């Protein structure tokens, strides 16, 4: 069987089984942590997308508690003004930062805005002038990053910097006090990520940047977003580090090996083996400065749904890869999906946390997947802390395709979402709805999770949006609990030989709510996919269709699970069961606080919710002016001052348009 963690320079051994980590009972509880390198003064701040470079999304603030959270009310609302209609829906996914007494955020168009955190009053704005007429596949920007130049004189320009990436793949460095570009960074304050790629983008919209860069030891480290289902040799997905002060390239690492001495080289075969594109890191990268490591979540190699030109496991793709931050060299890698054929990118940010195992603290990486798995990996070695085994999965029946015969599964931590859908389990709110779902599903190949795409059509459970999704998780070290939002929606995927494609069918069905067709250039196929819903628009799986799942990391057991979202947002005509018990599809992440509260938006219904970390009981629901698929954040300007909870509103698509930043505080 496969190695789970591969160290840089170690001998590749894809045919042998690595001993699984032995599970021991966790015997102690963790108290609130102070992160290495984090001062007491920063406890009330939100310094990075995931609260800190480690990405736990846990705040030590305690003013808002399980007992008083129901007293939250709107403190202020700010509108960005970015409501321009674009060819693709704009998605306001930014999680603001709060540092040095200022709130910083970015709009979908990468406009950066600095606000007074207590009033929402605008201090300054910066516009990178992205072309809003372009057909970018993902009009989104998840936020900014910050760095303090300790060598610069106090009060000097650009001592504190704000970095923002743009959808057209540029990174700007801005002075945090004024929003003026730092002239010494790159070319007058900006660098272009399209320069120097091994596989150049075939067209402008093929290569984007939607997540903020990681900041570590005087560098910014960034991935990219690649339109990876269009051709076999899509734009390459290099991860690169740049000097935080000058913008000079420090190193570059390509997830598709280009060097025959690389440990993963032999896991790539076929005619496109080492010229394949993508396998890019479009999610947020986590950083551990004490270990000089960055943790990179990678996606599928191109294209997503057919791998006949990229045979083998395709190591480093669909993986969590630990890179030496100072050099870009691989320290270890753990592949979560072998030879991806399902668009099962590692889409959520890694969370670097400490749990207790066998009476001692263990530094680990928590990684959720679209497959519905939560992997817990040793931070220094990548070896699973909770046992993982290779299990047989269905083979492909497509000529030229060689699906992996096994995939990794947890043996202790239960799946976060269902791994199959039998005909007996097909659901509909009425008999007619259920029969419509059965009519769609009966003809499909349906052999459980990891059933490969087929000519007749395949039932995909979990779907390409999860399972767990890009929203990621939060970890509460006080209770040793990870909380993860998940989807439970089935999908249909089919490979159509190009000579059998009916253009009339494509033009009739290619729509946002109908079938999606993609010509995978360099392969003999067109990909067709859609979510499986009934005439009432309800998913064909049993509810809840969205859920919040808590895993106890002392035991690996499910601590609690509750529906997430109101089904009336997707199927307003549903009758019978309370719509709040049906849940709804969700995109966006949670946060936790030392007050014992989990906050999450994410759902199509326009609310911010608070849950009890111990029980999962919904404690409070705050009305929003639109849907919110951004991850919230929280801060306190001074000890004893108000604790605020802030979320960006306006998710695009079914979440609705919006340009609101909403802050809540106790009345």
Predicted confidence (pLDDT) per residue in 257-283, tens digit: 999 999 999 999 999 888 999 999 999
- pLDDT, mean of residues 140-157: 97
Which residue, among 282, 487, 448, 452, has the nearest Cα to 370 in the 3D structure?
487
Q: CA-to-CA distance for 276 and 236, rounded, in angstroms? A: 7
> Tokens 């955020």 identify what position?
105
With a cut of 80, say whether residue 389 has pLDDT above it. yes
Express each pLDDT in 95-123 by its tens digit: 999 999 999 999 999 999 999 999 999 99
pLDDT, average across residues 375-392: 98
pLDDT for position 577: 54
State the Cα–Cα distance between residues 410 and 429, nearest whole angstrom: 33
The answer to whether the bond into 526 is cis (omega within 30° of 0) is no
Q: Would you state the pLDDT for residue 42?
A: 55
Known catalytic residue at 343: yes
- The catalytically annotated residue of 175, 304, 343, 378 is 343
pLDDT at 9: 36
By percentage, how much of the chain surpasses pLDDT 90? Answer: 84
Q: What is the pLDDT of residue 33?
A: 34
What percent of the chain stands above pLDDT 70?
Answer: 92
Identify the pLDDT of residue 654: 83
The model's pTM is 0.93
Write down the pLDDT at residue 357: 77
pLDDT of residue 137: 83
* Per-residue pLDDT band at 138 (split at 50, 70, 90): confident
Q: How confident is the model at residue 22 (pLDDT cuts 50, 70, 90)?
A: very low
Of the pLDDT bands very low, low, confident and very high (cuts 50, 70, 90), residue 580 is: low
pLDDT tens figures, 412-449: 999 999 999 999 999 999 999 999 999 999 999 999 99
- What is the predicted pLDDT for the residue at 508? 63
- What is the model's pLDDT at position 656? 84
Token digits of residue 647: 């979320």
Q: What is the pLDDT of residue 511?
A: 58
pLDDT band at 636 (very low <50, low <70, confident <90, very high): very high
pLDDT of amino acid 30: 28
The band of 614, judged by pLDDT with boundaries at 50, 70 and 90, is very high
Residue 4: pLDDT above 90? no
Please spell the DSSP secondary structure of 392-424, one letter per residue.
Answer: E-PPP-STT----SEEEEESSSPPSS-S---GG
Name the one residue in this structure whose structure tokens are 């940010």: 349
Lowest mean pLDDT among 83-97, 327-341, 441-455, 513-527: 83-97
Look-up of token digits 């743009």: 166
SS (H, E, C) 568-634: HHCCCCCCCCCHHHHCCCECCCEEEECCCEEEECCECCCEEEEEECCCCCEEEEEECCCCCCCCCEE
How far apart CA 663 and CA 531 sit, in angstroms, is 34
What angle (nearest 5°) sits at the alpha carbon of residue 302, between those of residues 500 and 449? 80
Give the β-pairing of 139-140 and 597-600: unpaired
> What are the backbone dihedrals phi and psi of residue 341, each rounded to the nearest 5 degrees, phi first?
-130, 15
Token digits for 11? 């001998």
Is the peptide bond between 441 and the residue preceding it cis, with omega within 30 degrees of 0?
no
Give residues with Cβ within 8 angstroms of 562, minimum separation 6: 547, 548, 611, 616, 617, 618
**Helix or strand holding residue 557 (H, E):** none
479 conformational bin, left if phi > 0, alpha if psi -120 to 50, beta if neither:
alpha
pLDDT of residue 356: 85
Asked if residue 228 has pLDDT above 90, the reply is: no
Contact 402/431 with Cβ under 8 angstroms?
no
Q: Which pLDDT score, from 0 to 100, does residue 567 have?
A: 87
- What's the whole-number mean pLDDT along residues 469-480? 97
Strand 122-126, strand 249-253: pairing: unpaired
Q: Which of 100-114, 141-155, 177-191, 645-659 has the lowest mean pLDDT?
A: 645-659
Q: What average pLDDT is seen over the chain?
A: 91
Which helix (H) or strand (E) is 435 found in, with range? Answer: helix 431-441
Measured on CA atoms in the order 619, 622, 623, 625, is the torsion positive or negative? negative
Q: How confident is the model at residue 620 (pLDDT cuts 50, 70, 90)?
A: very high
Residue 8 pLDDT grade (very low, low, confident, very high; cuts 50, 70, 90)? very low
Q: Are strands 139-140 and 90-91 parallel, antiparallel or unpaired?
A: parallel
Q: What is the C-alpha separation between 65 and 62, in angstroms, rounded?
A: 6
């Amino acid at each position: 069987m496969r190695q789970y963690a591969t160290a840089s320079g170690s001998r590749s051994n894809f045919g042998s089984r690595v001993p699984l980590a032995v599970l021991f009972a966790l015997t102690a509880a963790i108290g609130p942590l102070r992160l290495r390198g984090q001062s007491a003064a920063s406890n009330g701040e939100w310094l990075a997308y995931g609260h800190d470079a480690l990405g736990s999304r846990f705040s030590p603030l305690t003013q808002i508690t399980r007992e008083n959270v129901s007293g939250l009310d709107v403190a202020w609302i700010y509108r960005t003004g970015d409501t321009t209609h674009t060819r693709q829906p704009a998605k306001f996914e930014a999680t603001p930062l709060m540092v040095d007494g200022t709130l910083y955020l970015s709009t979908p168009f990468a406009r950066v805005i600095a606000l007074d955190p207590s009033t929402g009053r605008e201090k300054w704005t910066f516009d990178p002038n992205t072309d809003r007429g372009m057909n970018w596949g993902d009009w989104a920007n998840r936020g900014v990053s910050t760095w303090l130049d300790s060598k610069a004189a106090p009060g000097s320009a650009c001592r504190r910097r704000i970095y923002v990436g743009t959808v057209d793949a540029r990174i700007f460095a801005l002075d945090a006090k004024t929003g003026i570009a730092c002239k010494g960074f790159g070319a007058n304050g900006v660098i272009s990520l399209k320069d120097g790629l091994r596989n150049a983008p075939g067209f402008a919209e093929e290569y984007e940047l939607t997540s903020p860069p990681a900041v570590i030891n005087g560098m910014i480290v960034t991935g990219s977003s690649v339109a990876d289902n269009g051709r076999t040799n899509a734009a390459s997905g290099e991860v690169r580090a740049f000097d935080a002060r000058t913008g000079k390239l420090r190193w570059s690492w390509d997830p598709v090996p280009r060097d025959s001495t690389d440990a993963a080289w032999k896991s790539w075969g076929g005619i496109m083996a080492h010229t394949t594109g993508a396998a890019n890191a479009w999610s947020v990268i986590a950083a551990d400065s004490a270990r000089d490591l960055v943790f990179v979540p990678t996606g599928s190699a191109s294209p997503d749904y057919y791998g006949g030109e990229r045979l083998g496991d395709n190591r480093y793709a669909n993986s969590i890869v630990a890179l030496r931050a100072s050099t870009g060299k691989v320290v270890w890698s753990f592949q979560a999906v072998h030879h991806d054929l399902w668009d099962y990118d590692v889409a959520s940010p890694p969370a670097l946390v400490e749990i207790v195992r066998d009476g001692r603290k263990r530094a680990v990486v928590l990684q959720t997947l679209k497959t519905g798995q939560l992997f817990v990996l040793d931070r220094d070695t990548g070896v699973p802390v909770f046992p993982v085994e290779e299990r047989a999965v269905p083979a492909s029946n497509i000529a030229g395709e060689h699906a992996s015969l096994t995939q990794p599964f947890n043996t202790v931590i239960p799946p976060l979402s269902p791994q199959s859908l039998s005909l007996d389990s097909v659901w509909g709110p009425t008999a007619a709805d259920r029969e419509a779902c059965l009519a769609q599903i009966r003809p499909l190949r349906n052999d459980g999770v990891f059933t490969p795409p087929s000519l007749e059509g395949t039932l995909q459970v979990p779907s390409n949006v999860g399972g767990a999704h890009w929203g990621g998780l939060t970890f509460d070290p006080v209770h040793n609990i990870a909380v993860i939002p998940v989807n439970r929606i089935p999908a249909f995927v089919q490979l159509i030989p190009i000579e059998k494609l009916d253009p009339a069918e494509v033009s009739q069905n290619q729509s946002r709510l109908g079938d999606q067709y993609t010509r995978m250039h360099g392969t003999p196929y067109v990909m067709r996919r859609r979510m499986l819903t009934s005439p009432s628009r309800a998913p064909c799986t049993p509810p809840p269709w969205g859920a919040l799942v808590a895993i106890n990391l002392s035991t690996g057991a499910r601590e609690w699970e509750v529906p997430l979202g109101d089904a009336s947002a997707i199927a307003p005509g549903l009758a019978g069961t309370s719509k709040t018990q049906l849940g709804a599809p969700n995109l966006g992440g949670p946060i936790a606080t030392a007050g014992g509260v989990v906050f999450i938006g994410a759902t199509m219904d326009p609310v911010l919710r608070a849950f009890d970390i111990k029980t999962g009981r919904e404690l409070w629901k705050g009305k929003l002016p639109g849907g919110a698929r951004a991850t919230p954040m929280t801060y306190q300007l001074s000890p004893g001052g108000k604790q605020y909870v802030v979320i960006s509103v306006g998710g695009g698509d079914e979440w609705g348009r919006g340009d609101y930043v909403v802050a809540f505080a106790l009345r």
